[in-house]
Structure 1
């Protein structure tokens, strides 16, 4: 059964015809978990939760890509002072609807993840700052910076510009991490940029805002003994953003030290599957969309793992095996193919038209 048919069956009451980069205001979606103290590599996982196909492809961009941060497909989303740049770093990303980057990393080992946050407010447009339409917020960091610290310094100089289509706004917050294990969460609350910067910020879901999520987690830790887990430990078990945040934090703290990369990736995937939203959680009852795909990034060896929830196969690709020099072809792979399995680096093909 094709992916679109499955999503219509599971969430028929919640399907919207979406054109462009849109995050519907009534939905919580997605989870990100960073593992930066395994003793091996720095790895990060995320889930993408949505009611229909976001048309995910795995795309490799070489260095030297020219970007216009004001473009949204064929439209101009930033009328005044749009940011324009040429990428310094190559990247491997998963676009959303072909016009923005939902998830990905670059050759320096910096990764980004955009997740839904209903309370996002970028504030009124400040024309003194270059503007970047929301879908390219994370890609701007990937193209131009190598570390979390560099990305934070750069992102303070630009302004994300809200994208609105069909009455729905792209309200998102941004997670960053790099190959050293550094981490940051960026949110715009009441028009102000709020940054949580530090290795300790490993888990991110959705609403409420991150400071409130952290407060809820501290309250949970007073009631749940992380140091002495047992099968009787009471854990939030539903699919809300707060439940997923607390459950991901709990099980992440229990992960055993891996012996090799295979165990490390399997461990983080086990967490991402634990906090995924199953097809049996219909939107009309839960107010949350089912998980469309899961990813894991190894930031040290630059490997991207991808798991489509409507397919029984896990695939991966190595960014550093591609030609990343300026002028090289943009390479693309459609993961919606049950014939794919394991290392698919050599299954990419030249893109007829590069996304955004």
Structure 2
């Protein structure tokens, strides 16, 4: 049983050399780790890595907002049958390019993250299904669902539509988790939604597709015995998705039972630091880039922690201190401030939401 659990959490070091060529072609790198052990707060961490700055801003978005899932930056990109809705739940999100939420959580404890997946194929547009441009995929889930199960049901009839911004296609997969510790990873492969739903799906990186990663890990589990963990155990150290997946899964397995939420959040930030891309790390296709920010969400106490890597401190927003009721103003916070630290709910300012 212990060996099977290890398989679920980590891959073999031997996988990385065989697959490394695949990931150098497109090296956009993000990592999500969910810590959902029984008897403690549910904590999730994420790194945001991209070939350039995503110009991140934090938005507090109240319930009652009307949205058009066919628009990107005010321009219609889904001509027929765009998905339209009014938000049921307030949320706190990190936006990319002011075009849509890439990370965040809502007031019920549902959280989600969009990560790059080179093999994404949303399929040909079927106008019989409501169309949702990929940049608003996460926001729709946070606006309308209170749990992973509810989000999956709401997304089932919807078709995600490919868009492009700043020279990059929105080739994405979506990771969701909630305050119960439930988890789901949604990918579009060959035009079809492939869903991995269950608490065990706690670590997500990028390519290959999740089912392929599981096959590779199963093969290694069947053919090789894992050595006892120790400080001498070799682990992959590069930044490609397989290496990051293995390190995140390996080290998250040994996280100590926290005595309080402060320890749990600090532990998750340590995992996120371990899989972050250092300044100056070389990438073949896109030059040099680094992890832009790290986020940690406490889904039990509804606190969102954020660390821009060019700012020396961690800031956090307690959703309980934000007015997310219908009719409240939307608020924004630019995290690029050297004095930004601690609880920062009072520093948000009213804004006209651009997405």
* TM-score, length-scaled by structure 2: 0.89
> Is residue 224–residue 233 contact of structure 1 (8 Å, CA) maintained in 2?
no
What residue is the counterpart of 2:14 in the other structure? Answer: none
Counterpart of 1:135 in structure 2 is 135
Contact 1:145–1:151 at 8 Å: present in 2 too?
A: yes
Q: Deviations over 1:84-130 (max 9, x none)?
A: 11000000000111011100010111011000000000000011110
Report Cα offsets for 1:122-147 as digits up to 9, x if no partner. Answer: 00001111001100001111111100
Q: Does 1:264 align with 2:264?
A: yes
Report the Cα offset of residue 289 of structure 1: 4.0
Secondary structure of 1:102's aligned partner: strand
Deviations 1:290-309 (A, max 9, x none): 21000000011110000011
Give the distance between the partners of 1:113 and 1:288, measured in 2 at CA: 23
1:306 has 2:311 as partner: no
Structure 2 gap segments, 5+ residues each: 1-24
Stretch of structure 1 that moved more, 141-150 or 338-347: 338-347
**1:165–1:61 CA distance, 2 compared to 1 (3 A):** closer
Task: Specify the SS of the correspondent of 2:194.
Answer: strand
Note the residue ranges of structure 1 that are not aligned, 5 or more in a row. Answer: 1-24
**Which residue does 2:41 correspond to in 1?**
41
> 1:349: how far off?
1.4
Partner of 1:136, secondary structure, is helix
Moved over 6 A (4+): 285-288
Match of 2:144 in 1: 144
For the residue of structure 2 that corresponds to 1:181, the secondary structure is coil
Q: Distance in 2 between matches of 1:288 and 1:131?
A: 35
- For 2:106 and 2:123, how far apart are their aligned partners in 1? 29
Q: Does 1:251 align with 2:242?
A: no
Distance (Å, rounded) in 2 between the aligned partners of 1:39 and 1:122? 38
- How much is the aligned-residue C-alpha RMSD, in angstroms? 1.9
Alpha-carbon distance change, 286 to 131 in structure 1, aligned in 2, over 3 angstroms: closer
Give matches, 1:46-125, under 5 Å. 46-125=46-125
Mapped contact 1:130–1:157 kept (Cα < 8 A): yes
CA distance in 2, matches of 1:252, 1:299: 18
Q: State the distance in 1 between where 2:44 and 2:268 align.
A: 7
How far off is 1:229 after superposition?
1.5
1:160 matched to 2:199? The reply is no
> Contact conserved, 1:277 with 1:291, CA < 8 A, in 2?
yes
Could you tell me how far apart the structure 2 residues matched to 1:159 and 1:184 are?
17
Contact 2:28 2:50 in 1 (8 A): no
